[in-house]
Structures are given as structure tokens and as C-alpha cells.
């Protein structure tokens, strides 16, 4: 019995050892062979097979780990021999009975002598070390993830606090100027929600309506992406600031036809390239606003001089000079249609829809490191917006200006039509062909031969009529020409 | 109450579609979603642990940048896929990841 226990112990240690490395047993056949050998060893209770089995197990494994397993296997075997012996209370001084393990003795001795000479200290693979330290890359990864999650929560909360601080500061002014403050479009009836509409973790919207001259005002608080750690790190290299974008949609009858913009030079250059209306109507480069007493940082883009004169009244200049650092751009346009659309050729058949709009983009002070208190400094800018709404309503071009403006708009439309003329013709042609093809298909698909004949005749008649009409037209033109 | 004193018309109360094409604005969440799925498939097929970890990061970034109108199912599926890639890589090969240097 004692022998059997020892056999089992000897077998199990290296066996469990090798089981821990699943990847070694990729080939199913190996496992089968191994199993067979294992059971065979149990059946054949001879010492030779017992001693061979550790070696066999070793040879089925990878070359890399052969040496280590051999060494360790040997060590383990010997240790366990000792252990089992002591557990069983074997009082013999020798580790094992010489008589019983004849064959086994030789092998270990032989391999031992082999190993004596070149004592190579082999690196134990990391996962056999059983220590957490070897998994330091994984710990790093998890720490990174935790840091990301922490930043997400902190950033989200900060943006939330900033948004609500802004709203609390501006609530009174808005409620005194607009009947409806806050609407998310879900209610059937138009009632003030009195709350910001959160679109994102960094974008908050507010819709105000119910005032003379304007259809409505959409305020977008575009904060920095504080909830995204990547963005936070990118901002460390390239500082940016939160922005408040206000878009006032004017009623058609409440604004005259002009295109005008004022803002930082950089912003205006960019807008001139991007915006459809600014690129078409304001062809000159942004001019310095120094002529009107504006600081150097601000520039003006205008359709015509008269508009600039009209817009730059004392109060506006006061607003612009005092809050120049917070103003990114201000755009008044009756032809506003958003940024230039990149459309494929052949698709642009209609002018984009335009709306009379006033656009304001303000930078929140602090350039990223804003606190809720900074929102108070934006309140005068909202007053400027309200003032601009009234001003846009009151300002009318004189006769000359109106003529120029109308000419400009007609010119733009003509250019557009010329560009798309060819495309429109092609579109009409293709439509006609499609109709003919559909007709022919219908005729072909008709099962009843009689119906087919009738449809064909009808189609022929229609074509004849068309030809006749064309001929008539040609005749008429000829007569007129004469 | 408007300051003018003039009676104000019952204006248009419904907010317009805040952005006619939200996809134009910021493609980050969509790209990150796609990247995350690609990396997790690489990690699963090629048994590369670092691919799987990057996939987890991508799905987190996609979630952080997502719009509120975005489908949560998509987010969750990409997240689950990346987690499963990590788990499978470790089950198949419990060795710790080795740094590239």
C-alpha cells in the first residue's frame, strides 16, 4: 500500500504540473497517448515504468521548459518522497526503501550525475513564479482604466456644474425676455421646462422662444470634453476654451438683407472659408476694426460698407471693446445656410435653404480652467445678444444699399444656376429615360397578349403626340423669329 | 413678459432638430467603436493580449464621447466583446503580458 501511494504521488506531481500549461497540449493525440501511458503505468505496477513516466512526461513538453521541469520535477519528486515518508511516519533514515525502488534509483542517479556538471540556472517562466509582481503590465492596464473612469466621473460632474451655474446666472435675463425658456421638443404643448437639455456629457442646449422679431433662440453650451481623458491630455498640449454658441433665428419680415460678421481675425478667416454665405457675399479679407474704435484683435467682414456703418453704433462698439476677449465671432446673415456642404457632382440641384440668422460664439474665460464663478462674466454678453436682436430688426438699408444687396443675391443665384444647369439637364434626361424604361417593362410583363398590344399602341400614340408638339413649337419659334 | 410692451406672437416653441446631421459633428464615438471591435477580434483570433486591452480602452473612450441619442446596445455589445477578448486571451495563455521593450 505504501508503495502504491508513493507511485501515485510520483505520478501526480509532474502530471498536475504539466496540466497547468494547457498550451502545451495543443495536439489532441498527445493527450491521448499521455493518458494511455498514465493508465498503463497504473496497470503495470513495475518500477521501471514508474521511473520512466516522469521522463516521458518531460519529453512531451516543450524544449524550453524541459530542463526546468526536469530539475523541478526531480526536486519535487524527491521532496514529496520525503514528505510522504514523514507523513506516513516512516522511521527509516533513508528516504526510500532500496529494495522496492531498484530501477528508479539508477535513473535519478544517472540523470543527477548528468546534471551535476553543467549547473545551469534556468529562468523560471513568470507565470510559474506565483507572484503578483510578474503581472505588472496587467496591473498597469487596470490602473489606467480606473484612472479613466475616475476622470470621466470628475469631468462629467464639472461640466454639469458649469452648465447649471451658467443657467442660474442667465435665467432671470432670459425669462424676462422670452416667454418660453427651455424646451426639449417632447411635450405636445409648448411649456417652459426651465431646464437645460443635456445632449452629451459636454454639450447642453437651451431653446428660448416667444419674443417679438425672432422665431427663437438656441443656446448651445459647448464645453470641453472633460470626461474623456484623452481629450484632457490633448488639451494640455493645445489649450482650448469652453464656448457658448447662440443662434437666433429671425422672422423673415424682421431683418433686412445683409451679411455681416465681426470677430477675431483667425475666426473670421476660418468662417470665411467654411460658411456658405460668408464665402459668397463677403469676398474681401477681414478688415481691421480699428477704424471704428475696436481693438486690434477684432476684424470685420461685411457685404458692403453701409452695413458696417449701420451696425457699428456706439453701444455695439462699447460691447465689442469691453468684452473683446470673450468674443470669438458674431455673424448677422440673411442668407445663412450653415457650412459649405461637400456634395458630389450631380447631386447639387437646388440652392441650400437659407434662414435669417444671428450667430454668436463666445469663449468662456479661463481657457479650460473655468470655475462656475466665471459664468457671471458672460451675462453682459447675453445683453449684447438681446440688443443685437432689436438692432437687426430696426436696421434697414437705404435704397442704394438695397439695390446692391439685391444685385448680389441675384448674381449668386445666377452663378449657382449656371453651375448646375448641365447637371439639371442630365437629371431631367435620366428621369425621362427611366419613365420610358418603366413603360417598356410594364408592356413586356403583361401576360395577356391583347393587353400588350393595346399598351404598345398607347405608347406609340403618346410618342407621336410628343413629336407633333415639338414640331409645333419649332414652327412657332420660326414664326416669331420672322 | 417682453420688455417692449408690444404683444408677442405665440412664437414657434418647438426646438428644431438641434443638429440636422449629428454624424457630421464628431465621428469619434463611431470610430472608437469600430476600432474597439477590430482590436477585440484581433485579440481573440491572434491571441494577442495587448490587442484585447486596447479594445477595452477603445470601448471606454467610445462610451465617454458618445451622444445621448446613441444606442446603448451598441456600446454595451462593443464593451462586452472587448471584455470577452481579454478574458479569453488570459484563459488560453495565463502568462502575464510582456512589455514590448
Tell me if B96 and A207 make a contact (CB, 8 A cut-off).
no
When pLDDT is averaged across residues A434-459 and rounded to a whole number, the result is 84
Out of B2, B15, B92, the one facing A212 most closely (by C-beta) is B2
Distances (CA, A) of B83 to A33, A296, A423, A481, B79: 36, 55, 51, 80, 6
Question: A293 — alpha (psi -120 to 50), left (phi > 0) or beta?
Answer: left
- Residue of A67, A72, A86 lying closest to A6 (CA atoms): A86
Query: How confident is the model over A204-246, as pLDDT tens digits?
Result: 988 888 888 888 889 999 999 999 999 999 999 998 889 999 9
Does B83 lie at the interface with A, CB-CB under 8 angstroms? Answer: no
SS (H, E, C) A333-384: EEEECCECCCCCCCCCCCCCCCEEEEEEEEECCCCCCCCHHHHHHHHHHHHH
Pairs across A and B, CB distance < 8 A: 99
CB-CB: which of A138, A179, A199 is closest to B8?
Answer: A179
Residue range A427-449: mean pLDDT, rounded: 86
pLDDT computed for residue A85 by the predictor: 43
How far does the CA of residue B40 sit from the closest CA of chain A (Å)? 15
Q: What sign does the dihedral A346-A350-A351-A353 (CA atoms) show? A: negative
Question: In terms of Cα–Cα distance, which of B27, B71, B13 is closest to A185?
Answer: B13
A148/B57 touch (CB, cutoff 8 Å), yes or no: yes
B97 interface with A at CB cutoff 8 Å: yes
| Phi and psi torsions of A285, nearest 5° | -75, 160
- A215 and B12: CB-CB below 8 Å? yes
Position B14 scores a pLDDT of: 56
Cβ–Cβ gap A199/B8 under 8 Å? no
The mean-pLDDT minimum among A253-262, A288-297, A337-346 falls in: A337-346
Which residues of chain B have a CB within 8 Å of the CB of A185?
Answer: 14-15
Confidence of residue A4 (pLDDT cuts 50, 70, 90): low
- Centre a 10 Å sphere on the Cβ of residue A314 and count the other Cβ atoms it contains: 8
More confident residue, A102 or A318: A318
Q: Give the model confidence (pLDDT) of A107-135 as tens digits.
A: 554 555 555 678 888 877 666 666 778 88
Strands A298-302 and A259-264: antiparallel
In angstroms, the Cα distances linking A66 to A15, A27, A303, A388 are: 14, 18, 84, 84
Place of cell 458692403: A304
Q: Which residue of A has its CA nearest to B17?
A: A185
d(CA A153, CA A130): 35
B100 close contact with A: CB closer than 8 A: no
Q: Which has the minimum average pLDDT: A137-141, B14-18, B85-89?
A: B14-18
User: How many CB atoms sit inside 10 A of residue A154's CB?
Assistant: 13
Q: Are A391 and A311 in contact (CB under 8 A)?
A: yes
Q: Which range, of A402-406, A418-422, B3-7, B84-88, averages the lowest pLDDT? A: B3-7
Contact at 8 Å (CB) between B56 and A145?
yes
pLDDT reported for residue A152:
95
- Subunit contact B67:A215, Cβ cutoff 8 A: no
Taking Cα atoms as reference points, which of A170, A147, A167, A169 lies closest to residue A159? A167
Please give the average per-residue pLDDT across A248-258, as a whole number: 88
Does the distance separating the beta carbons of B61 and A144 come in below 8 Å?
Answer: no
Whether residue B55 contacts residue A255, with contact meaning beta carbons closer than 8 Å, is answered with no
Angle at Cα A276 formed by Cα A275 and Cα A279, nearest 5°? 80
Most confident of A349-363, B42-56, B60-74: B42-56
Interface check for B21 against chain A (CB to CB < 8 A): the answer is no
How many whole angstroms separate alpha carbon A302 and alpha carbon A285? 9
- Give B67's contacts in chain A (Cβ within 8 Å): 199-200
CA distance A142 to chain B (A): 9
For residues A190 and B10, give the distance between their C-alpha atoms in angstroms, rounded to a whole number.
10
Residue A348: Cβ within 10 Å count = 15
Half-sphere exposure of A308 (CA within 13 A, CB side): 19
Q: Give the closest of B68, B97, B99 to A200, CB-based.
A: B68
Q: Mutation test of the interface with chain B: which of A175, A180, A183, choosing the one with the most B Cβ atoms within 10 A?
A: A180
What are the C-alpha distances in Å from A145 to residues A105, A112, A148, A236? 55, 49, 5, 20
Taking a C-beta distance cutoff of 8 angstroms, is the pair A196, A163 a contact? yes
CB contact under 8 A, B15 and A207: yes
Report which of B68, B66, B36 is spatially closest to residue B53, judged by C-alpha positions. B36
Q: Which residue has the higher pLDDT, A77 or A313?
A: A313
User: Helices (DSSP H) in A178-325: which residue ranges?
Assistant: 229-237, 265-274, 276-281, 305-311, 314-322
Q: Do B12 and A136 touch (CB under 8 A)?
A: no
* DSSP output for B77-89: HHHHHHHHHHHHH
Query: Which pLDDT score is estimated for A370?
Result: 84
Q: Per the CB < 8 Å rule, is B65 touching A22?
A: no
What does the domain layout of chain A look like in residue ranges?
142-404, 447-481
CA-based nearest residue in chain B for residue A213: B8
pLDDT band at A58; cut points 50, 70, 90: very low
Partner-chain contact B11 A207, CB within 8 Å: no
pLDDT surpasses 80 at B19: no
Q: What percent of chain B has pLDDT over 70?
A: 75
Residue B69 has pLDDT above 60, yes or no: yes
Percentage with pLDDT > 90 across chain A: 23
**What is the pLDDT confidence band of residue A17, given thresholds at 50, 70 and 90?**
low
Q: How confident is the model at residue B91, as a pLDDT?
A: 92
When CB atoms are compared, the residue of B2, B96, B99 closest to A177 is B2
**Binary contact (A227, B64; C-beta < 8 A):** yes
| Distance of alpha carbon A359 from alpha carbon A275, whole angstroms | 12
Of A138, A183, A214, the CB nearest to B96: A138
Mutate to test the interface with A, among B64, B69, B88, B97 (most CBs of A within 10 A): B64
The rounded distance, in Å, linking the Cα atoms of A52 and A345 is 80
Give the burial string for A44-68 (b: 16+ CB within 10 Å, else e). Answer: eeebebbbbbbeebbebbeeebeeb
* Residue that the C-alpha cell 514528505 belongs to: A83
Contacts of B1 in chain A (CB under 8 A): 176, 179
- Using CB atoms, pick whichever of B1, B2, B11 lies closest to residue A216: B11
Q: Given an 8 Å threshold on Cβ–Cβ distance, is B67 in contact with A200? A: yes
Check CB contact under 8 Å for B11 and A211.
yes
Q: Which of A207, A212, A230 sits opposite B8 (nearest CB)?
A: A212
Q: Considering only alpha carbons, which residue of chain A is nearest residue B56?
A: A145
Tell me how far the alpha carbon of residue A59 is from its chain's centroid.
53
Beta bridge partners of A275: A339
What is the torsion angle, in degrees rounded to the nearest 10, for the CA atoms of residue A464, residue A469, residue A475 and residue A476? 170
Within 10 angstroms of residue A385's Cβ, the number of other Cβ atoms is 21
Give B-chain residues touching A135 at CB under 8 angstroms: 96
Convert the pLDDT of each residue in A90-105 to its tens digit. Answer: 444 455 555 665 555 4
Q: What pLDDT was estimated at residue A135?
A: 85
DSSP-derived letter for residue A163 is: H
Which one has a higher pLDDT value, A4 or A213? A213
Partner-chain contact B57 A145, CB within 8 Å? yes
What is the secondary structure of A418-462 as a DSSP string? HHHHHHHHHHHHHHHHHHHHHHHHHHHH--SHHHHHHHHHHHHHH
> Residue A346: left if φ>0, alpha if ψ -120 to 50, beta else—which one?
left
Amino acid at each position: 500500500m505504501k508503495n502504491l501511494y508513493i507511485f501515485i504521488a510520483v505520478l501526480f506531481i509532474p502530471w498536475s504540473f504539466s496540466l497547468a500549461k494547457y498550451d502545451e497540449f495543443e495536439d489532441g493525440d498527445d493527450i491521448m497517448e499521455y493518458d494511455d501511458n498514465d493508465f498503463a503505468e497504473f496497470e503495470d505496477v513495475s518500477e521501471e515504468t514508474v521511473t520512466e513516466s516522469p521522463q516521458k512526461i518531460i519529453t512531451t513538453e516543450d524544449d524550453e521548459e524541459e530542463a526546468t521541469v526536469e530539475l523541478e520535477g526531480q526536486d519535487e519528486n524527491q521532496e514529496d518522497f520525503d514528505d510522504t515518508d514523514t507523513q506516513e511516519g516512516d522511521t527509516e533514515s533513508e528516504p526510500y526503501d532500496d529494495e522496492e525502488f531498484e530501477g528508479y534509483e539508477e535513473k535519478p542517479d544517472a540523470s543527477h550525475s548528468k546534471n551535476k556538471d553543467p549547473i545551469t540556472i534556468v529562468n523560471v517562466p513568470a507565470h510559474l513564479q506565483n507572484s503578483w509582481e510578474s503581472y505588472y503590465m496587467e496591473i498597469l492596464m487596470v490602473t489606467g482604466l480606473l484612472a479613466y473612469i475616475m476622470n470621466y466621473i470628475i469631468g462629467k460632474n464639472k461640466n454639469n456644474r458649469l452648465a447649471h451655474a451658467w443657467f442660474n446666472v442667465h435665467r432671470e435675463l432670459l425669462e424676462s425676455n422670452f416667454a418660453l425658456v427651455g424646451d426639449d421638443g417632447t411635450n405636445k404643448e409648448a411649456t417652459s421646462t426651465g431646464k437645460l437639455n443635456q445632449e452629451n456629457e459636454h454639450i447642453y442646449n437651451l431653446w428660448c422662444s416667444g419674443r417679438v422679431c425672432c422665431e427663437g433662440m438656441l443656446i448651445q453650451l459647448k464645453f470641453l470634453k472633460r470626461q474623456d481623458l484623452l481629450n484632457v491630455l490633448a488639451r494640455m498640449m493645445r489649450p482650448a476654451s469652453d464656448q457658448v454658441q447662440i443662434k437666433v433665428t429671425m422672422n423673415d419680415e424682421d431683418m433686412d438683407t445683409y451679411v455681416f460678421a465681426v470677430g477675431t481675425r483667425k475666426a473670421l478667416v476660418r468662417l470665411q472659408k467654411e460658411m456658405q454665405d460668408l464665402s459668397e457675399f463677403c469676398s474681401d479679407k477681414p478688415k481691421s476694426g480699428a477704424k471704428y474704435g475696436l481693438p486690434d484683435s477684432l476684424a470685420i467682414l461685411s457685404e458692403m460698407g453701409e452695413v458696417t456703418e449701420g451696425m457699428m453704433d456706439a453701444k455695439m462698439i462699447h460691447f465689442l471693446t469691453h468684452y473683446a476677449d470673450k468674443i470669438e465671432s458674431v455673424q448677422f446673415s440673411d442668407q445663412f445656410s450653415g457650412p459649405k456642404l461637400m456634395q458630389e457632382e450631380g447631386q447639387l440641384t437646388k440652392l441650400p435653404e437659407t434662414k435669417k440668422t444671428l450667430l454668436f460664439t463666445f469663449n468662456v474665460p479661463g481657457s479650460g480652467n473655468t470655475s462656475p464663478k466665471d459664468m457671471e462674466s458672460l451675462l453682459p454678453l447675453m445683453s449684447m445678444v438681446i440688443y443685437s436682436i432689436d438692432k437687426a430688426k430696426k436696421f434697414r438699408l437705404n435704397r442704394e444699399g438695397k439695390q446692391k444687396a439685391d444685385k448680389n443675391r441675384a448674381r449668386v443665384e445666377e452663378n449657382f444656376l449656371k453651375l448646375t444647369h448641365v447637371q439639371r439637364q442630365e437629371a431631367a434626361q435620366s428621369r425621362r429615360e427611366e419613365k420610358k424604361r418603366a413603360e417598356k417593362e410594364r408592356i413586356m410583363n403583361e401576360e395577356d397578349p391583347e393587353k400588350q398590344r393595346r399598351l404598345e399602341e398607347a405608347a406609340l400614340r403618346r410618342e407621336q403626340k410628343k413629336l407633333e408638339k415639338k414640331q409645333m413649337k419649332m414652327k412657332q419659334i420660326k414664326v416669331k423669329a420672322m | 413678459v417682453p420688455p417692449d410692451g408690444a404683444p408677442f406672437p405665440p412664437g414657434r416653441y418647438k426646438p428644431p432638430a438641434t443638429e440636422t446631421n449629428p454624424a457630421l459633428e464628431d465621428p469619434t464615438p463611431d470610430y472608437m467603436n469600430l476600432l474597439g471591435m477590430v482590436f477585440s477580434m484581433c485579440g481573440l483570433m491572434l491571441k494577442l493580449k495587448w490587442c484585447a486591452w486596447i479594445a477595452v480602452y477603445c470601448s471606454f473612450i467610445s462610451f465617454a464621447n458618445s451622444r445621448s441619442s446613441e444606442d446603448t446596445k451598441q456600446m454595451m455589445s462593443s464593451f462586452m466583446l472587448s471584455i470577452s477578448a481579454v478574458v479569453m486571451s488570459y484563459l488560453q495563455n495565463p502568462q502575464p503580458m510582456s512589455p514590448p521593450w
